[in-house]
Structures are given as structure tokens and as C-alpha cells.
Amino acid sequence: MRWTRGGSNMNVEDRRGQRMGLGGGMGIGGGIIALILALVFGGDILGGGGDPGVATSTESGDVAPVSESAAEAERREFVTFVLNDVQDVWRQTLPKYGDQYRDAKLVLFREATRSGCGIGQAGMGPFYCPIDERVYLDLSFFDELHDRFGANGDFAQAYVIAHELGHHVQHITGVANQVRQMQQTRPGDANEYSVRLELQADCFAGVWANSTDQRRLLEGGDLEEALNAASAIGDDRIQRETTGSVRPESFTHGSSAQRVSWFRRGMESGNPESCDTFAGGR
């Protein structure tokens, strides 16, 4: 992907110098479950509190100056560029469909940090918290994306960020709140609604990718990198690799084929109205 360094970091909150003690805490599995509950029901189930934007103190941690390798600095610059570019596109696009875009913040952290949705841990992967309108990212996730999931290339990383900002678009437009209400009303269908929400965020990531193609920011192989990333983190593939079996009724993000299909739909149309995953089949 063609990108430039030195972009505005106005919407980047760098907490990598923060160390948070989690005490007895919860393991990664418990953290994921609690995070889902927090996002679905809007509560602070992870135990967060106070001002989610303050990174100067924790229960037992200290804040130190951020030290980073040259490779990590390059990754930070890239993430900042993608954040700004995705938000620029939605700032221009969303008013055409009746909503005004407002910027989300991106929080960079290491290991763990406090969010408006509670304690976030690196093992959860990147996540969006609608309560404080922030995307949380430990940059080491991109190593896991490469090493564990085999998703290589900078556009695979860009897809992840664009997907999380897709959740911000859902929050602004009210779709996310409608889904949470439906999940509360029909708890037996909660996973189904979650899948449709995630697939729409994939499609929204594709809408942004379409704009990068129009502006000639894509290089050879970029689209394949994003499609590979979408496929690599499908529920069926992850379940098969971790448990040896696939249980579609437990899906929360969608199968590899679904994720690829919806990203491609947004990419080909460039139109968020093509991303209605709630109408008819998937």
C-alpha cells in the first residue's frame, strides 16, 4: 500500500508506556467473554471505571516514556496513516447517507489497559469500545496475525483497523445499538446478530478499500492480503485449528467465506448501502 509518514497523531492516544497490574485478574478466555458482554449490554462488566481517556495511572502500574524499536515506530506510523485515511473517507462518505461522522480515537497499548468497556488485554486482539468511541490495539497483534494466522502484508493490517472503525460507523448510525437491543430481546439469536454486525464491519472495511483503489494507493497483492486476512480469522477456520471441529451455531464473527464475501462486496461497490447484512441471507 502506498502511504506517507508523519501524519497527524491528533486521534492517537499512546499508552504504551503504561503498565497495568491485573491482580488475580481473568485469563484471556474470561476476558473475551466479559468484553462481549460489555459490548452487548453496554455495562462495565470488565471492571473498568473512571475516565477511560486518562492513561496516567492504574491500580498498580507506572507510566514511563514510550520506548520503541525502529520496526515498531514504522508500524505506529503506518497505523496512524490508516486511521487518518479511513476516517477521512467516512467523513466525506457518511453525510451522503444522512449521518455526520465524528472521529474515533485509537489507543495504542501493551499487554493491558483500561477502556470505557473495562480492562482490555492484548490477548483479546483489537477491539472497539462504543462507550468511549475508541479502538484499542496492541501492535504485537500484527505479529500474531502474521505468525498464527498467516496473514501477511501491510494491507492485511489496514483491513483490521478499517474493520474496527466500521464498528464506529455502526455506532454513529445507530445500527450497533439496534443490534444490542435485539440481542437482549431475543437472546437465543444473539450470536446470529453478532455475526451480521461483524460481517457489516467487514463490508465497511471494503468500502474504504474501494476508495484506496480509486486513489491508486493499492499496490500489487494488496487486495489479496486483505482477503487472506478476512479468511484467516473466520470462525470456522479458528475453531477447526483450535478444537478440531466447527460449530456454526457458536459463530460470532462469521465463516471465512462470509467474511471474504462481504469485504469483497464493499470493495466492489464502494457503497455502504450494499452492506446491509441484516436483510435476507448472508
Residue boundaries of the structural domains of the chain: 12-275
- From first CA to last CA, the distance across the chain in angstroms is 29
Q: What is the pTM of this model?
A: 0.84
The tens digit of pLDDT for each residue in 36-72 reads 433 433 333 333 333 333 333 333 345 567 889 999 9
Give the tens place of pLDDT for each residue, 62-116.
Answer: 556 788 999 999 999 999 999 999 999 999 999 999 999 999 999 999 999 999 9
CA dist 13 → 18, 89, 95, 205 (Å): 11, 21, 26, 22
